[in-house]
Amino acid sequence: MINNQGIHLVQKVRQHTDSAFVLRLQRNNFQFTPGQCVNLGLPDEAVNREYSTYSGIKEPYLEFLIKAVKGGMVSTKLQQLKSGDRVTLDGAYGLFTLHQPDKLKHKYTFICTGTGIAPFHSFVKSYPKIDYQILHGIRFSQEQYDKQDYTSTRYISCLSQGKGGSFSGRVTDYLTKHKIDPHRIYYLCGNNDMINDVYDLLREADVNGSNIFTEVFF
């Protein structure tokens, strides 16, 4: 773990939906490995929350994709911040990272729901040459957060409601209807029910358990 405690200034808050937004901070030489988390909070307040890094390791700023939770003690306050406001940041930590991504020998499938796509965005921005595919489970098309940052053929949005995505149904429906490659490496991030259901589907398709990595995001 690299300890980067300190105060960071807000550069901007970029809204995606009424509740989902990207918080951009001054980097201040903050060091992290893509996929790791940090604790974010407000100065002089004792409460903080854990968020995965969203930006790439070579970018001059830090970004976090955040869902404002109704009644939340941190997320709703972060959403209201303006340029020049201060936040506290502590981290980075966690092992939900890619092993030797520079070797380019692995094929990855990243499966997520909602803002659980955050660490995968950081992977893609940090390691643009990796061989990846993203399955993103969302409700509506406006939740295809920054889809332009992914190669169009590598990003598959699975919409449970509404239209305008790549596939109509949940990520589990997509996996049931398409052949699962047992030789790929799978990273799962999102709600616990999705992770449990997808894990079972992967194991039934003879994916080795050592090639499945999980992170419960909410």
Report how far apart, in Å, the C-alpha atoms of 168 and of each of 31, 174, 179 are.
39, 8, 17
pTM over cut 0.85 = yes
pLDDT on residue 28? 94
Percent of the chain scoring above 90 in pLDDT: 90
Tell me the domain boundaries of the chain. Answer: 6-93, 101-216
Percent of the chain scoring above 70 in pLDDT: 97
Handedness of CA 87, 91, 95, 101 (dihedral sign): positive
Would you identify the CATH topology of the domain 6-93?
Elongation Factor Tu (Ef-tu); domain 3 (2.40.30)
The CATH number for 101-216, chosen from 1.10.1760.20, 3.40.50.720, 3.40.50.80, 3.30.70.980, is: 3.40.50.80
More confident residue, 11 or 162: 11
**Intrachain domains 6-93 and 101-216 with the same fold:** no
46 pLDDT tier (thresholds 50, 70, 90): confident
Segment 62-90, tens digit of pLDDT: 999 999 999 999 999 999 999 999 999 99
